[in-house]
Amino acid sequence: MEIRFDGKTALVTGTGSGIGEAVALDLAASGAVVVVSDLTEDAAQKTVAKIIAAGGAAVAAYGDVADPAVVEAQIALAEQHGGLHLLVNNAGIGGPSAPTGAYPLDGWDRVIAVNLNAVFYGLRFGLPAMERAGGGAVVNMASILGSQGFAGSAAYVAAKHAVLGLTKTAAMEYGGKGIRVNAVGPAFIDTPLLSGFDKETRDWLISKHPVGRLGRSEEVSSLVLFLLSDRASFVTGSYHLVDGGYCAPKQRGLCPPIPPRPHLWRSRPRGYFRTRKSHDPPGLMIRPCPGPDRRTGWPGPEGMVYRKALALGGAPR
């Protein structure tokens, strides 16, 4: 079940190392011409050299993707090589670590500029280019922290949450034009971004992954290539975790069932579906209450009592 991208041109940002480098190498190995983007020319050229040595086709582009002019120029470069068909907005930084009330303002601005604004610029200039090419696919690199909080990382978490909103909005707008837009949420991947962590911190991070290790860049790349390929032709506007089970324990507690507690309802001066109590005021409107609904656990068919209580301003306590 080999995935091929022959005749297509891709732009991947943040390709100097880690996930971006893995995606660029895999795309080139699958037949795509890859525009390899990174902050510095040396980093971009290093990845280009690896692609060419492996028999692939690539061209280097460099500059700060927090600058919209840089992103626009890189999109134009891709169009010079056959049109933009595939886009991976991958560039990102970790940023400072500090409580929200003490987060450095310059750190906030920089993280938002790279992790959010650059993704918007990629979509802003890339989507029209894909329309001109007849369609395509986009993968925005989010994070597990696009759906979770993480103390000390206000800017990073805010940016990744926002990337998911951009992804869904763009998917809605361009789905009818043959362009799919998805997001990937890696957990902690063993890349240079984590190189500054001491052993104690790494061990703590590893303990948060049920598989008992950090992720590998090529594991993320495999998911990215699938989402870019025609095998995912019905997948758009969605967020895909590659997290070694990191989010599994947390998701169990997102929507706990509300226990049926109709006996704790507060009285209100309007009609409720329940039986009359001895302490009810004479003017309270009471309607007969059938037995509990088997599916919802609330009295009345289809949880009628519960919905009625919410509509009248009451709620179970």
Active-site annotation, residues: 156
Reading phi first (left if > 0) and then psi (alpha if -120 to 50, else beta), residue 186 is in beta
Q: CB burial class (10 A; 0-12, 13-18, 19+) of residue 107?
A: middle
Q: Are 81 and 33 in contact (CB under 8 A)?
A: yes
Q: Are 3 and 225 in contact (CB under 8 A)?
A: yes
The string of DSSP codes covering the chain is -----TT-EEEESS-SSHHHHHHHHHHHHTT-EEEEEESSHHHHHHHHHHHHHTT-EEEEEES-TTSHHHHHHHHHHHHTTT---EEEE--------B-GGG--HHHHHHHHIIIIIHHHHHHHHHHHHHHHHT-EEEEEE--GGGTS--TTBHHHHHHHHHHHHHHHHHHHHHGGGTEEEEEEEE-SB-SGGGTT--HHHHHHHHHTSTTSS-B-HHHHHHHHHHHHSGGGTT--S-EEEESTTTTHHHHTTSSPPPPP-GGGPPP-SS-EES---TTS-TT--EE---PBPTTT-SBSGGGHHHHHHHHTT----
